[in-house]
């Protein structure tokens, strides 16, 4: 006869486990874990997913729960101390009560979160970013750039509705000196983790047209220090440090300078201070110019005054000398006039006789020259007419030849260029990713990037496959090296 087994209901088993856990874990524990997802609900409760990773691999995963009353208290205290809201991806120290429910299973009832531990983690991230940038030798790269003499063309990364941006524009545009600037706004979220990719994306856009700008400004106003830990991110800080144009920041807080602000060419506490700095850069150029203008004007007036006084003195001397000379020459002129009158009468009669003789000779010579010049003129006129006709004929012939050449070659040239454009269009269409996907290929992405030697995958990783009409999420079962096959 088969041995009888003791049979338990599922509820009995669950109740027994619940009792055992309640008796064994009856007190509160401090647990360090990464809050993968906060999972905030409309009722105010949260069901965070807590994970533990070693060497990038997930080794533990448990469900947590924070009831609304606790969450309101915890989140308020956390924001006041850390100056950051609770968010996904943070490594935190949780005070938990270990519970088991027959329906919902094992979970950690979160009673409190230690904000000082989060501060340490944020400070650790900041210090690690600084060490990496210093090791790579780029921490002062942006500061070493040459600042434009007149930074007039400004690329602005901000939110269009930002009060800080409004204050920045107001100070610049209402300056009393008439300084003119050109602004182009590149909108991006400036708070929290989304700001990391948003700002980097706009920096890449600006870099493509960097020759159209003198500097880049990142402007954020209001909000205190909450949401600023993103500016300690290594990737964002490096993008700013290595940017080819000077980057100026005015993100509106005065303590705990972020790494992004430290590596920027200049950091202003407020957007208004940043605007004042740009105006001062124009002052630094215009004030010496105005001072030189004033000096030149004063020196010119003094030179003109000295020259005028010297000229007046010279005129008085000139008048005195001129009067004496005029009197002297007047007496000499009278003596010479008498002598000249006497000699002129004698010379007049002699010249009159010679003139009569020359008149007769001139009349004879003039008639002879007239006939010779008339012959030469007629000869030159005939030569000119022949040369003109020959030149017009040659020029007309060249123009006709050129017209025939253009009529023959121009259509062929157009046809050749059209054929080249068609070939380029076909080539571009062949490399279109959609055409490749239509042939049955797919694109494999890991963490949003193409799988490659620089972005490898391992067993257990979640990847995305993009086909022509869909996106497939898959788990890697096995990675096989096909390099030598």
Domain total in the chain: 3
Q: Are residues 80 and 160 in the same domain?
A: no
* Residue positions counted in the chain: 485
CATH number of the CATH domain containing 211: 3.40.50
- pLDDT at residue 155, rounded to an integer: 97
Query: Is residue 3 very low, low, confident or very high in pLDDT (cuts 50, 70, 90)?
Result: low
* Domain final position from 248, 269, 290: 269
CATH number of the CATH domain containing 48: 2.40.50.140
Q: Are residues 109 and 173 in the same domain?
A: no
Among 237, 221, 222, 245, smallest CA distance to 154 is for: 245
Could you read off the pLDDT of 196-205 as tens digits, one per residue? Answer: 999 999 999 9
Could you read off the pLDDT of 293-346 as tens digits, one per residue? Answer: 777 888 888 888 888 888 888 888 888 788 888 888 888 888 888 888 888 778
**Residue 167 belongs to a domain:** yes
Q: Are residues 106 and 193 in the same domain?
A: no
Between residues 186 and 460, the one the model is more confident about: 186
Could you read off the pLDDT of 347-366 as tens digits, one per residue? Answer: 887 788 888 877 777 777 77
Q: Name residues whose C-beta falls within 8 Å of residue 472's C-beta, 6 or more positions apart in sequence.
A: 442, 464, 465, 466
**Domain ranges, residue 439:** 435-475
Between residues 40 and 117, the one the model is more confident about: 40
Q: Are residues 84 and 179 in the same domain?
A: no
Mean pLDDT for the chain overall: 84
- pLDDT at residue 248, rounded to an integer: 96
**Residue 292 belongs to a domain:** no
Q: Are residues 159 and 242 in the same domain?
A: yes
- pLDDT at residue 364, rounded to an integer: 75
**Residue 214 belongs to a domain:** yes
Other Cβ atoms closer than 10 A to 422: 10
Q: Are residues 176 and 83 in the same domain?
A: no
Mean pLDDT lowest among 38-47, 186-195, 291-300: 291-300
Q: Which residues pair with 32 in a beta bridge?
A: 93
Q: Are residues 153 and 253 in the same domain?
A: yes
* Domain final position from 269, 290, 318: 269
**Residue 41 belongs to a domain:** yes
- pLDDT at residue 419, rounded to an integer: 84
* Count of helices and strands (H, E) across the chain: 9, 14
Q: Are residues 164 and 227 in the same domain?
A: yes
271 has pLDDT over 60 = yes
Query: Is residue 146 very low, low, confident or very high in pLDDT (cuts 50, 70, 90)?
Result: very high
Pairing relationship of beta strands 153-158 and 49-54 according to DSSP bridges: unpaired
Could you read off the pLDDT of 17-30 as tens digits, one per residue? Answer: 888 888 888 889 89
483 has pLDDT over 80 = no
Q: Are residues 92 and 179 in the same domain?
A: no
Buried b vs exposed e over 213-234: b needs ≥16 C-beta within 10 Å?
A: bbbbbbbbbebebebbbbbbbb
How far apart CA 273 and CA 221 sit, in angstroms, is 12
122 has pLDDT over 80 = no
- pLDDT at residue 1, rounded to an integer: 46
* Domain final position from 254, 269, 284: 269
**Residue 210 belongs to a domain:** yes
**Residue 456 belongs to a domain:** yes
**Residue 187 belongs to a domain:** yes
110: exposed, middle or buried (Cβ count in 10 Å: 0-12, 13-18, 19+)? buried
**Residue 148 belongs to a domain:** yes
């Amino acid at each position: 006869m088969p041995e009888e087994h003791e049979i338990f209901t599922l509820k009995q088993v669950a109740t027994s486990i619940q009792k055992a856990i309640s008796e064994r874990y009856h007190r509160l524990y401090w647990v360090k874990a990464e809050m993968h997802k906060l999972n905030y609900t409309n009722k105010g409760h949260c069901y965070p997913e807590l994970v533990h990773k070693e060497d990038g691999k997930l080794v533990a995963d448990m469900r947590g729960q924070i009831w609304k009353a606790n969450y309101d208290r915890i989140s308020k205290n956390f924001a006041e101390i850390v100056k950051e809201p609770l968010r996904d991806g943070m490594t935190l120290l949780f005070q938990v009560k270990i519970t088991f429910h027959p329906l919902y299973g094992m979970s950690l009832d979160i009673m409190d979160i230690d904000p000082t531990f989060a501060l340490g983690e944020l400070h650790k991230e900041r210090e690690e970013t600084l060490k990496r940038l210093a090791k790579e030798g780029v921490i002062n790269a942006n500061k070493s750039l040459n600042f434009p003499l007149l930074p007039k063309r400004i690329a602005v990364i901000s939110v269009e509705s930002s009060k800080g941006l409004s204050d920045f524009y107001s100070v610049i545009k209402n300056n009393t000196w008439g300084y003119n600037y050109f602004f182009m706004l590149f909108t991006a979220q400036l708070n929290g983790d989304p700001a990391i990719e948003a700002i980097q994306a706009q920096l890449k856009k600006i870099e493509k047209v960097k020759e159209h700008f003198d500097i880049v400004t990142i402007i954020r106003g209001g909000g205190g220090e909450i949401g600023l830990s993103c500016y300690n991110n290594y990737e964002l800080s490096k993008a700013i440090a290595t940017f080819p144009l000077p980057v100026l920041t005015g993100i509106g807080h005065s303590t705990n300078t972020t790494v992004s602000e430290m590596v920027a060419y200049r950091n202003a506490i407020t957007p208004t201070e940043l605007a004042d700095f740009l105006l001062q850069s124009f002052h630094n150029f215009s004030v010496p110019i105005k001072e030189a203008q004033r000096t030149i004007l004063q020196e010119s007036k003094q030179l003109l005054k000295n020259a005028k006084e010297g000229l007046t003195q010279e005129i008085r001397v000139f008048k005195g000398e001129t009067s004496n000379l005029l009197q002297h020459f007047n007496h000499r002129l009278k003596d010479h006039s008498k002598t000249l009158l006497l000699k002129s009468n004698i010379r007049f009669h002699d010249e009159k006789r010679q003139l009569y003789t020359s008149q007769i000779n001139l009349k004879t010579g003039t008639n002879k020259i007239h006939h010779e010049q008339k012959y030469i003129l007629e000869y030159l006129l005939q030569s000119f007419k022949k040369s003109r006709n020959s030149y017009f004929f040659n020029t007309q012939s060249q123009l006709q030849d050129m017209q025939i050449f253009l009529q023959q070659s121009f259509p062929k040239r157009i046809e050749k260029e059209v054929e080249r454009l068609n070939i380029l269009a076909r080539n571009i269409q062949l490399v279109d990713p959609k055409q490749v996907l239509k042939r049955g290929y797919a694109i494999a992405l890991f963490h949003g990037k193409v799988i490659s030697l620089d972005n490898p995958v391992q067993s257990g990783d979640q990847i995305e496959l993009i086909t022509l009409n869909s996106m497939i999420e898959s788990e890697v079962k096995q990675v096989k090296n096909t390099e030598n096959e």
